[in-house]
Chain A
Amino acid sequence: MSRIGVFICHCGENIGGVVHCDQMAEALAEHPGVVVSVDYKYMCSDPGQNLIKEAIEKHKLTGVVVSACSPRMHEPTFRTACAEAGLNPFLCEMANIREHCSWVHADRDEATRKAIELCRMMVEKVKNNQQLQPIHVPITKRALVIGGGIAGIQAALDIANAGHEVVLVERDASIGGHMLQLSETFPTLDCSQCILTPRMVEVARHPKITLMTWCEVEKVDGYIGNFEVTVRKKARSVDMEKCTGCGACMLKCPSKKIPSEFNAGILIPDPENPRKKLGYRTAIYTPCPQSVPNKPVIDRANCIKFTKGKCGVCAKICPTGAVDYEQEDELVVEQIGAIVVATGYQVWSVAKAAQDYPYIGYGEYGYGTHPDIIDGLQFERLLSASGPTGGKVMRPSDGKEPETVVFLSCVGSRDNEKGFTYCSKICCMYLAKHAMLYQHKVHHGQTFNFYMDIRAGGKTYDEFSRRTIEDDGCIYLRGRVSRIYPRDGKLVVQGADTLSNAQVEVEADLVVLATAMIPQPDAEELAQKLRIPYDKDRFLSEAHPKLRPVESQTAGVYLAGTCQGPRDIPETVAQASGAASKVSALFSADELEREPMVAEVHRAAPPIFSICFGCFFCERVCPYGAIEREEITARDGSVIKTVAKVNEGLCAGCGLCAASCRANAITLKGFNDEQMFAVVNAIGEEEGF
């Protein structure tokens, strides 16, 4: 016989203001199987929880229904309370009479009637509940970090310093990411490379970190604590063991005219030889001299040996015989317990053709057509001591020092028509930085900044941008630019100054567009491999925007840095450390406890053996790849039937499989057929349907 306790919460005025909780308690007391039914102002408070615990002991309850808020809020609270009183926690259910009732209804009597019915449904369900035990899964204490920008570097170091092994996979030839390309960083103007390179070196030297550059994640199988990750080691064409990083090959490589990705594709006429340009790299290259590892790769698409079959200079010059044209891609499988995704961003780049992008582009800004219209990352390279000009500001068309520089913010950001709805968050700050750094280098120069708003929230950020205006004389014009076009060796920037309500025209030598920060081109593909959701703009989605910002929806996969949304370095580092601490917390136990609400495939007596008939619709619908195939064999080993099997470690309990199964061979524990049937049958029972 069921002995159910019903506990009705007023949630202060939230429920009590609409639902007559006392009447509800009386009505439920009459319901078959209910032995105690009480209402209380705050069930989640200590005295409220004690009511439940005492009732469990006093009335020897076999089930508990708490009629209160959403189970998403307090189910763990009440289940724990039940467990403390000796009742299996999964014999406790919640009826949501707040979100599903009091918050959406005004009529007190009607709402009370509905609340009673919602509660009866759960009482009927609980009568069919079974004692469930949490699932224990072992944990491989080895983390994978994907992406070696500052986010990945920070996460890898934090996890490794906590004593766990880390595999850091970076697809470029060096770690460092975008931060390595920056000149100086707001708001303190530290030299970006100076603060970053020590960490890069630390990663390379750390005994707990396996650094895999020029590698990509090919496939991800498994689940939290037990991922199996296949990594593609792209053919580097250079033997990492033999190469000493002397760089002789790079000096001699005849394929020299490749715009360097590290320099964001910007090319500047060489003052010493105007027919030559600065900013190229060779076919065998490292992204920059500070690269980690400082060993080159061959870009086969541009290598003469690979394209024409001739050359082979680097192999001849290499003192250790490290160059190996025969090298092939290699796949390695790593056992991993947790994954941190830190794949960063790209800027909507002027160096690439605008039509490559899924939005309209800014033809009126001469987007990608005039060499003196550049993007923010390219300007960083012009300002950087490691850039093509050694930090001297020169314009791409003729190498002259620009005397008037115009900055445009929000190119693609906050633009519902042509770009993205979101704010890229960093541009206001880096444009202020750009104007300031330019002014420090070109004292007689003048800068203009067309902006929509100055977004400088953050410690000392507002002071920083004020300095640009007040000390460095940058003229800020609040308004959009309508057109940029060349005239007599200058660029005419036509725009509006909405504060003085005037049309303005500036003759510029150089125009810098703060183009939107967008996810990596393959963000979607990677998300699908990892089975994690992404938003409409393809940034990876966090599990909860406020309370779980560094977790993805998939257990064991965490997010760090700009792959999740636009942000600057301090925020990126904070998030990376957050993700790392989640990983360390996961690795602090040997086993993982998971909720037992997982799907199960039913067995049956011979000759059927299993109601499952193996159509494997469930396998196709399962978003978590949790359905495996299992053979039912006879004594002699012959296969009687191949049926579905749920991997409990992977199953997230979404129930899609159960819904897709025509034979009802698969059900969700805690939500099985009997339970659902009882719930449905309880609807409208009073009215005699």
Chain B
Amino acid sequence: MSTPEQELRERARELLEGDEVDVVVGYGQGNRPDRTTPVFVTAAAAADQLVLNPFCRNDLAAWLTRKDLRAKFPRMAIVAKEPDIRAVVVLIQETQIDPGAVRVIGVRIDRPGDPDSPCTVLPQTTLDELQQHLRDDFQPRALTAEQLGAVEKLEQLPPAERWAYWRKQFDKCLRCYACRSGCPMCYCDQCIAQMNQPQWLDTSAHPLGNMAWNITRAFHLAGRCINCGECERVCPVDIPLMALNRFLARQVRDQFDFQAGYDVEEYQPFASWKPDDNEDFIL
């Protein structure tokens, strides 16, 4: 019996040996036992660098849109946790990656961060099969009760208090844009935050600009966020960004019966139109 980690390495080896991909982007051991770091495996012999454990936290899908990487390695494989597979689906829909040039090694980590959590390599190998797996098995457990509770708690606050809450949170923002760098969906060549003619967003870490940046970021993810939690995880000042993202995701689900990243054929409500779309919110 091979361990899931061995199985993962074997899969990577096969892809590289069969010359199906130029690189496998996966997790390697970090500088502490409870940390992992992205590794880029380009030869079958190096596949043993890959690890699979509950500390594989990054969403590696963000690497798929990196131009420098793509120029060097046109055909990429990535090790993707279930939310990260959703990211791949959205990136394909948004024509950021060519489905023919990407392979996904799906993994499941039951309780990320818990040293005792089981980790498995998903048996599905094609994107179609992986999407089916997401719809059948992952969708129901994509959002934990705790995560939902945090959204609902905020939602129940009176508007003035909610505003005060977010103001306080956003006041902390350093404008380091780590959230943007970690997010697989933030791939614009030139972010609107950098535009200066006219300058819609004040770039200094000032309450007004911070508010504008954070609201813009959240809105740009409405119907696109795949709930990987990278932004919140990488935020150095612990702004609960996912509460905002999840709130919007739920609105989109309730209004349009849509959740991002489960089906390449089904487009984001912002980029599609159906005759029976809900329009209760139009006055």
B-contact 0/1 string along A610-627, CB 8 Å cutoff: 110111110011000000
Contact B95 A674 (CB under 8 A): no
Contact A613 B197 (CB under 8 A): no
Contact B267 A611 (CB under 8 A): no
Using CB atoms, name the residue of chain A closest to B94.
Answer: A615
**With the chains together, A613 CA to B66 CA distance in Å?**
12
Contact B94 A663 (CB under 8 A): no
Contact A663 B271 (CB under 8 A): no
Contact A613 B198 (CB under 8 A): no
Tell me the dominant secondary structure on chain B's binding face: loop
A260, CB-defined interface residue at 8 Å:
no
Using CB atoms, name the residue of chain A closest to B67.
Answer: A607
**With the chains together, A588 CA to B189 CA distance in Å?**
46
A663's partner among B192, B197, B272 (CB-CB below 8 A) is B192
Contact B188 A617 (CB under 8 A): no
A642's partner among B95, B187, B191, B271 (CB-CB below 8 A) is B95
CB proximity of A673 to chain B, nearest CB, Å = 6
Using CB atoms, name the residue of chain B closest to A623.
Answer: B273
A604, CB-defined interface residue at 8 Å:
yes
CB proximity of B275 to chain A, nearest CB, Å = 8
Using CB atoms, name the residue of chain A closest to B188.
Answer: A663
**With the chains together, A610 CA to B188 CA distance in Å?**
11
Contact B270 A660 (CB under 8 A): yes
**With the chains together, A223 CA to B216 CA distance in Å?**
35
Using CB atoms, name the residue of chain B closest to A611.
Answer: B190
Contact A660 B271 (CB under 8 A): yes
Contact B96 A662 (CB under 8 A): no
**With the chains together, A677 CA to B190 CA distance in Å?**
19
B220, CB-defined interface residue at 8 Å:
yes
Contact B192 A662 (CB under 8 A): yes
A664, CB-defined interface residue at 8 Å:
yes
A-contact 0/1 string along B15-51, CB 8 Å cutoff: 0000000000000000000000000000000000000
For residue B165, which residues in chain A have a CB less than 8 angstroms away from its CB? none
CB proximity of B32 to chain A, nearest CB, Å = 36
A201, CB-defined interface residue at 8 Å:
no
Contact A663 B190 (CB under 8 A): yes
Chain A, 608-664, CB within 8 A of any chain B CB: 608, 610-611, 613-617, 620-621, 642, 660, 662-664
For residue A610, which residues in chain B have a CB less than 8 angstroms away from its CB? 189
For residue B198, which residues in chain A have a CB less than 8 angstroms away from its CB? 673-674, 677-678
For residue A674, which residues in chain B have a CB less than 8 angstroms away from its CB? 197-198
Using CB atoms, name the residue of chain A closest to B190.
Answer: A611
For residue B187, which residues in chain A have a CB less than 8 angstroms away from its CB? 613
CB proximity of A672 to chain B, nearest CB, Å = 10
**With the chains together, A660 CA to B267 CA distance in Å?**
14
Contact B189 A620 (CB under 8 A): no
A-contact 0/1 string along B163-188, CB 8 Å cutoff: 00000000000000000000000011
CB proximity of B68 to chain A, nearest CB, Å = 11
B95's partner among A615, A664, A678 (CB-CB below 8 A) is A615
Using CB atoms, name the residue of chain A closest to B197.
Answer: A674
B101, CB-defined interface residue at 8 Å:
no
A-B contact count (CB 8 A): 52
**With the chains together, A677 CA to B197 CA distance in Å?**
10
Contact A617 B192 (CB under 8 A): no
Known: A604-B190, A660-B270. A616 touches B200 (CB 8 A): no
B69, CB-defined interface residue at 8 Å:
no
Using CB atoms, name the residue of chain A closest to B91.
Answer: A615
Q: Which of A608, A610, A611, A615 has the most CB of B within 10 A?
A: A615
Q: Which of A611, A660, A678 has the most CB of B within 10 A?
A: A611
Contact B192 A608 (CB under 8 A): no
B195, CB-defined interface residue at 8 Å:
yes
B94's partner among A604, A617, A642 (CB-CB below 8 A) is A617
B-contact 0/1 string along A500-534, CB 8 Å cutoff: 00000000000000000000000000000000000
Q: Which of B94, B188, B191, B220 has the most CB of A within 10 A?
A: B188
A616's partner among B95, B190, B195 (CB-CB below 8 A) is B95
Contact B190 A608 (CB under 8 A): yes
B189's partner among A613, A617, A621, A642 (CB-CB below 8 A) is A613
Contact A614 B95 (CB under 8 A): yes
For residue A664, which residues in chain B have a CB less than 8 angstroms away from its CB? 192, 195, 200
For residue A662, which residues in chain B have a CB less than 8 angstroms away from its CB? 188, 192, 220
**With the chains together, A37 CA to B113 CA distance in Å?**
69
For residue B272, which residues in chain A have a CB less than 8 angstroms away from its CB? 620
CB proximity of A526 to chain B, nearest CB, Å = 15
Contact B200 A677 (CB under 8 A): yes
**With the chains together, A638 CA to B202 CA distance in Å?**
38
**With the chains together, A63 CA to B215 CA distance in Å?**
36
B188's partner among A613, A642, A660 (CB-CB below 8 A) is A613
Using CB atoms, name the residue of chain B closest to A672.
Answer: B198
Contact B271 A611 (CB under 8 A): no
Using CB atoms, name the residue of chain B closest to A640.
Answer: B67
CB proximity of B209 to chain A, nearest CB, Å = 15
Chain A, 652-689, CB within 8 A of any chain B CB: 660, 662-664, 673-674, 677-678
Using CB atoms, name the residue of chain A closest to B93.
Answer: A615
**With the chains together, A542 CA to B272 CA distance in Å?**
25
CB proximity of A145 to chain B, nearest CB, Å = 27
Contact B191 A663 (CB under 8 A): yes
A-contact 0/1 string along B258-274, CB 8 Å cutoff: 00000000011011110
CB proximity of A55 to chain B, nearest CB, Å = 29
For residue B220, which residues in chain A have a CB less than 8 angstroms away from its CB? 662
- Residues of A at the B interface (CB closer than 8 Å) are 604, 608, 610-611, 613-617, 620-621, 642, 660, 662-664, 673-674, 677-678
11 A-B residue contacts at CB 8 Å?
A611-B188, A613-B187, A614-B96, A615-B96, A616-B94, A617-B94, A621-B271, A660-B271, A663-B190, A664-B192, A674-B198
- Residues of B at the A interface (CB closer than 8 Å) are 94-96, 187-192, 195, 197-198, 200, 220, 267-268, 270-273
8 cross-chain pairs, A with B, having the tightest CB-CB distances, nearest first: A677-B198, A620-B271, A615-B94, A617-B271, A663-B188, A608-B189, A662-B220, A613-B189
